[in-house]
Amino acid sequence: METYLPIKNKMHVLITGSKGFIGKNLLQKLIENSSYQVSCFNREDGFEFLEKLVKTADIIIHLAGENRPDNKADLVVGNSDLTKKICTFIQKSSRKPLVVFTSSIQAEFDNPYAISKRDSEKALENLSIATDTPVLIYRLPGVFGKWCKPYYNSVVATFCHNIANDLSIEIHDPFKKIKLVYIDDVVNSIVDSMDSVKDGFHWRNVQPEYLISLGDLSAQIKAFKNFRTNLIAEKVGTGITRALYSTYVSYLPFTEFIYDLNKHSDERGIFVELLKTPDCGQFSFFTANPGITRGGHYHHSKTEKFFVIKGKAKFGFRNILTGENHEFVVTGDKPQVVETIPGWAHDIKNIGKDNLIVLLWANEIFDLNQPDTISCEV
């Protein structure tokens, strides 16, 4: 149990169930904002402590609850009874804090868990009607993201954990579709509601919602794992792929925080491929020893961007039709990009005294069968 003293000029936010999956993420978000004073209530704390916190709370985020207890009776105690206790404490305090409650889409079904959630919802609705206490309820689908417990109530957590740790997964129906929301979107929606909901009784859905089959979910997570073999990155910048990738890497053991790449070495220096994309080319880097020239070829369609990280380089260009030629000297001291143009032969020479280090982007993945790279003097 923590000690609690209200701090003047700070919004007092009470989180029940702060040690759970959503609670951990929400708590971290709130403590990053100095305008909130956050207190927490968890299953090991007593009701006397809970009542003390409720008396001074401006906002109550009610996340605590039971999902899969060994004893079905605990669903009533941990869900509906706890919610009714909070409602009673609010009424006794004569305050009207905003209450945000995370229910579940499972509340629509007819089973003990669903009934306990509906009873909780009804208790909060009655509180709002009787006392004008503002209440907001989320009926959440499956929530996924970092810090979610595998083998509990998230198939995403289980799949990510097992695939990241080379364990098998089991799928009975690969075509079964599940509805999901990402933890960051849940947290952001809750935080937004803390400012936007002032009165009344409301229902809200977290957006965006994602619909994906178990087979596609498994295939996507396995594609993340395969990246370290084929270096081909998925489209991890937006949408569900972004959210799933962030979730997947959060389950990697610390020994997998680092991984090796293939290094190709010869008398000129080294060449290393870093990352490939399905539709935006690939990234590599290479070195060149002093006096060494690399390249000496042209492309019909492929284009490249060279960025000198360290050293001094001379880039040569010659138009293969007209013979027109140009040279550019680039150093690591000045950020510049040298772009190769189709139909222009090009090379790069280390004209410095130190090793030359160059980052290279090509607009397509190198294909040994169709390299589009024709040797030609510059």
Vertex 52: Cα angle to 46 and 191 (nearest 5): 95
Which residue, 78, 58, 52, is CA-closest to 67?
78
In terms of DSSP bridges, do strands 344-350 and 293-298 run parallel, antiparallel, or are they unpaired?
antiparallel
* Angstrom distance (rounded) from CA 24 to CA 139: 19
> Torsions phi, psi of 182, nearest 5?
-90, 140
Cβ atoms within 10 A of the Cβ of 374, count?
A: 11
Residue 229's nearest CA partner among 161, 276, 167 is: 276
Comparing CA positions, the residue from 210, 290, 281, 276 lying closest to residue 243 is 210
Neighbours of 313 (CB within 10 A): 24
User: Whole-angstrom Cα distance, residue 2 to residue 41?
Assistant: 9
Q: Please report which helix (H) or strand (E) contains residue 222, including its range.
A: helix 214-230
Which is catalytic among the residues 113, 138, 245, 298? 113
Q: Is 113 one of the catalytic residues?
A: yes
Cis amide prior to 208 (ω within 30 degrees):
yes
Q: Which of 368, 366, 328 is nearest to 346 (CA)?
A: 328
* C-alpha span between 333 and 180 (Å, rounded): 48
Rounded distance between C-alpha atoms, residue 141 and residue 205, angstroms: 9
Q: Number of helices and strands (H, E) in the chain?
A: 9, 20
Residues with catalytic function: 113
